[in-house]
């Protein structure tokens, strides 16, 4: 995808202005990004709330939840597909995996151990049983994890922290570090090439534009999509934002931004799942989420740069470079120390429940 996406990340044309006090958007974000104290109750709604805080492609939130006694089902919501950037629903199922892992981690924190079982429909059924509450660092990190699309400060990450991240990913999903200068330069080239191809594709741009929330009024009304200010940048009414987009999102400008972002990061990681199936993609989402929560707990910021894995030819080029031409690299994530940006929103829990 674009450097997630000039309007999300780019030239500060009209920066959202909020005078004294908290804006309605900031209040909504603050109310959203927390784990409620349950006072010992059965936390099904709290678990669904936590699951919705998971990373998900374009923030489409492609999920529905069915609550039964001690059971939650996470179901794909195909009405929220992004067919251009994600024609085979890879990102959709990775997003379900992110929600599943977040839900399981929240369950452990609240004292409910979940046993997941994949459903033939592509969903997941999780049966819960009571367990000692384990509000560990990954649990605490759930409301702090975010996609932070900006420059980081270039500081390296210690070997011990990298080992911790590797351990969090686990054995099912392969993790390839991109740390040394040659590798980083090569990966940067692939991201730039993928990005340029997406920029030149009108269908990609149309789909992306439809999911951009150009100002806080739109973001608050929809509570989904990619709010420009959540990447630290301009807001504008949609009619203006749509007109400005081609001007601020130039091939050259985007290439430079990617290079700066990669340079400022401590490194990047490429995730390759066990199989090219929905089950394999859910496993990738789960592994990424453990990585992201562990990184967040360690004070790191992270952001995807998935351009080289979103097109089959780019993907093959990357797989060949990685020395595993028969496998499908699933995700590209950069990480490092950096600033906090405004957070994204989610739809209310009630809106994602299957009645
Ligand atoms: C499968 C998947 C693919 C994604 N691809 C990108 C990407 O290429 N670039 C990007 O900036 N963000 C990407 N994201 C991040 C989402 O846009 C982000 O999770 C969503 O907007 C919610 O924001 P949050 O992560 O800050 O909660 C991806 C997320 C997932 C799960």
Q: What is the pLDDT of residue 20?
A: 60
Summarised one tens digit per residue, pLDDT across range 147-197 is: 999 999 999 999 999 999 999 999 999 999 999 999 999 999 999 999 999
The residue to which tokens 């929330």 are assigned: 213
**HSE-CB of 132 using CA atoms within 13 angstroms:** 2
Give tens-digit pLDDT for 26-57: 999 999 999 977 655 558 999 999 999 999 99
Q: Considering only CA atoms, which residue is closest to atom 14 of ligand 1?
A: 57
**Ligand 1 neighbour 9 (Cβ under 6 A):** no
Ligand 1 centroid distance, CA of 60 (Å): 10
Residue 304, ligand 1, Cβ within 6 A: yes
What is the whole-number distance in angstroms between the Cα of residue 129 and the centre of ligand 1? 31
Tell me what pLDDT residue 144 has.
98
Measured CA to CA, the distance from residue 272 to residue 329 in angstroms comes to 4
Residue 178, helix vs strand vs coil = strand
Q: Please name which of 56, 78, 77 lies closest in space to residue 66, comparing C-alpha atoms.
A: 77
Residue ranges per structural domain of the chain: 6-184+261-352
* Cβ–ligand 1 contact at 257 (below 6 Å): no
How far, in Å, from the CA of 131 to the mean position of ligand 1?
32
- 92-110 mean pLDDT: 97
149 lines ligand 1 (CB under 6 A): yes
Which ligand 1 atom is at minimum distance from the Cα of 149?
A: 11
Task: Tell me what pLDDT residue 36 has.
Answer: 78
pLDDT higher than threshold 50 for residue 1? no
Find where tokens 């990061």 sit: 265
Ligand 1 neighbourhood includes 195 CB (under 6 angstroms): no
Query: What's residue 2's pLDDT?
Result: 36
Instruction: Let me know if domain 6-184+261-352 sits in CATH 3.40.1550.10.
Output: no
pLDDT above 80: residue 219: yes
Biggest CA-to-CA distance, the chain? 56
> Mean pLDDT over all residues of the chain?
92
The 10s digit of each residue's pLDDT in 6-19 is 344 333 333 333 44
Asked if residue 265 has pLDDT above 80, the reply is yes
96 band by pLDDT with thresholds 50, 70 and 90 = very high
pLDDT of 259 reads 98
Cα 228 to middle of ligand 1, angstroms: 13
């Amino acid at each position: 995808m674009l450097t997630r996406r000039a309007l999300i990340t780019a030239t500060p044309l009209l920066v959202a202005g909020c005078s004294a006090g908290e804006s309605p958007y900031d209040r909504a974000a603050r109310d959203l990004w927390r784990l409620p104290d349950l006072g010992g109750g059965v936390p099904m709604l709290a678990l669904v709330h936590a699951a919705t805080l998971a990373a998900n492609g374009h923030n489409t939130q492609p999920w529905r939840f069915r609550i039964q006694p001690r059971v939650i089902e996470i179901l794909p919501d195909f009405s929220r597909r992004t067919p251009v950037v994600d024609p085979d629903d890879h990102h959709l199922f990775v997003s379900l995996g992110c929600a599943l892992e977040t839900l399981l981690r929240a369950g452990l924190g609240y004292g409910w151990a979940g046993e997941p079982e994949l459903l033939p429909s592509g969903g997941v059924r999780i049966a819960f049983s009571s367990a000692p509450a384990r509000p560990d660092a990954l649990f605490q990190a759930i409301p702090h994890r975010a996609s932070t699309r900006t420059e980081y400060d270039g500081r390296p990450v210690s070997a011990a922290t990298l080992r911790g991240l590797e351990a969090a990913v686990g054995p099912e999903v392969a993790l390839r570090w991109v740390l040394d200068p040659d590798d980083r330069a090569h990966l940067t080239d692939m991201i730039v090439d993928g990005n340029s191809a997406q920029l030149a594709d009108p269908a990609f741009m149309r789909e992306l534009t439809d999911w951009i929330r150009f100002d806080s009024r739109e973001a608050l009304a929809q509570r989904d999509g990619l709010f420009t200010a959540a990447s630290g940048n301009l807001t504008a009414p949609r009619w203006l934002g749509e007109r400005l987009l081609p001007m601020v999102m130039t091939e050259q400008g985007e290439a430079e931004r990617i290079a700066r972002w990669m340079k400022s990061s401590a490194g990047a990681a490429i995730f390759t799942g066990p199989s090219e199936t929905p089950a394999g993609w859910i496993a990738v989402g789960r592994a990424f989420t453990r990585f992201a929560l562990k990184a967040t707990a360690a004070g790191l910021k992270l952001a995807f740069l998935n351009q080289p894995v979103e097109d089959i030819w780019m993907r093959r080029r990357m797989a060949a470079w990685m020395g595993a031409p028969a496998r499908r690299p699933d995700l590209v994530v950069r990480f490092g120390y950096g600033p906090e940006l405004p957070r994204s929103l989610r739809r209310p829990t009630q809106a994602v429940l299957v009645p």
